[in-house]
Amino acid sequence: MMAEPILEVQNITKMFGSVIALSDVSAKVYSGEVTCLLGDNGAGKSTLIKILSGVHQQTDGDYFFEGQSTTLSSPRQALNMGIATVYQDLSLIPLMPVWRNFFLGSEPEKGWGPFRRYDIDFAKQTVQEELGKMGIDIRDPDQPVGTMSGGERQSIAIARAVYFGAKALILDEPTAALGVKQAGTVLRYIAQAKARNLGVIFITHNPHHAYAVGDRFIILKRGKTLGIWSRDEITREEMIRSMSGADELEALSHELDVLASVDAGQDERVAALEHQVAKSLEEDAGNN
């Protein structure tokens, strides 16, 4: 039998007035896996993750965290329990340096009493170390976040959640606004978070991105569950209806292969995952 899910919802219904945003939706999320949430605009994806992250409460149905029945009253409570959510706007401040953004709201301090102050050296060093562990090399922790690429910014937000001890990581369309290469970078960090045993929930419109890293797929349609599959229960062809940009995928696959070989000495598990991502994308490109 499988381990117990880190997060589980059963028969969730969510009404906004008379609008039924979710109807009888059930889902399980496991540690060390990527669970992908797919579906068209208005399918209920954001509503579901807002329930998981304490922004909304369900109208009906049950929520379990680490097997315990749970009622979340705020996003802060969810975060304290280890459920971190990275929204598309990221809540990073563009003009602030990387290290300040990383510790925003949880500033490390040193000294005592009236001598207490922000431990800047610790912050800078930690940011460099933590991002380094995720394979992100920042030369200068003073670099303003606004000058970094979209993919790097997503990666910093993911690294921050990992550092602050997230057990479940919810990503709302992290690859949506990105070009192919940067999307590849973010997919690598999703694989990294998975390798560090987080339970990752990855929302995307893009079945290629989902199939590249996903272990489990939930497709929502007009507030209802269209299907739940584990990776071995659904083929790419079944999931990927429309296919465009085969060339782009081939290029991405090559990028990832190169990155995987760079990382090979670092962490075998991560490298293996990255290789899997690259291979999957390569096959997508070849088949379509």
Residues near Mg ion, by CB under 5 A: 46
**Residue 43 binding result from ligand ATP, Mg ion, none, given CB thresholds of 5 to 8 Å by partner type:** ligand ATP
Q: What angle do CA 98, 89, 46 make, to 5 degrees?
A: 140
3-class state of residue 187 by DSSP: helix
**Residue 42 binding result from Mg ion, ligand ATP, none, given CB thresholds of 5 to 8 Å by partner type:** ligand ATP
**Residue 242 binding result from Mg ion, ligand ATP, none, given CB thresholds of 5 to 8 Å by partner type:** none
User: Least CB distance from residue 40 to ligand ATP, whole Å?
Assistant: 7
Choosing from 12, 43, 72, 171, the residue that interacts with ligand ATP (CB under 6 A) is 43
Choosing from 6, 28, 33, 45, the residue that interacts with ligand ATP (CB under 6 A) is 45
* CA-wise closest residue to 203 among 8, 66, 47, 57: 47
* CA-wise closest residue to 280 among 245, 252, 259, 238: 252
User: Least CB distance from residue 151 to Mg ion, whole Å?
Assistant: 20
* CA-wise closest residue to 85 among 218, 203, 216, 186: 203
**Does 219 contact ligand ATP by CB under 6 A?**
no
**Does 9 contact ligand ATP by CB under 6 A?**
no
Structure-block tokens of residue 78 = 């969810």
- Give Cα 97 distance to the centre of its chain: 23
| Region for residue 275 given its phi and psi (left: phi exceeds 0; alpha: psi -120 to 50; beta: otherwise) | alpha
User: Least CB distance from residue 81 to ligand ATP, whole Å?
Assistant: 22
Q: How far apart are CA 79 and CA 179, in angstroms?
A: 30
Q: How far apart are CA 230 and CA 204, in angstroms?
A: 17
**Does 21 contact ligand ATP by CB under 6 A?**
yes
- Please identify, using beta-carbon distances, which residue of 44 and 174 lies nearer to ligand ATP: 44
**Does 18 contact ligand ATP by CB under 6 A?**
no
* CA-wise closest residue to 79 among 106, 61, 100, 60: 106
Q: Which stretch binds ligand ATP (CB under 6 A): 14-22, 68-76, 147-155, 253-261?
A: 14-22
With beta carbons less than 8 A apart as the criterion, state whether 110 and 116 touch.
yes
Choosing from 23, 31, 35, 47, the residue that interacts with ligand ATP (CB under 6 A) is 47
Residue 146 DSSP code: G
User: Least CB distance from residue 204 to Mg ion, whole Å?
Assistant: 11
Parallel, antiparallel, or unpaired for β 216-221 and 224-230? Answer: antiparallel
Contacts of 271 (CB under 8 A, 6+ apart): 260, 263, 264
Q: Which stretch binds ligand ATP (CB under 6 A): 42-50, 57-65, 78-86, 227-235?
A: 42-50
- Please identify, using beta-carbon distances, which residue of 46 and 182 lies nearer to Mg ion: 46
Structure-block tokens of residue 166 = 């997230």
Q: Which stretch binds ligand ATP (CB under 6 A): 34-42, 64-72, 210-218, 232-240?
A: 34-42
Choosing from 23, 35, 46, 101, the residue that interacts with ligand ATP (CB under 6 A) is 46
What does the binding site for ligand ATP look like in residue numbers (CB under 6 A)? 16, 19, 21, 39, 41-47
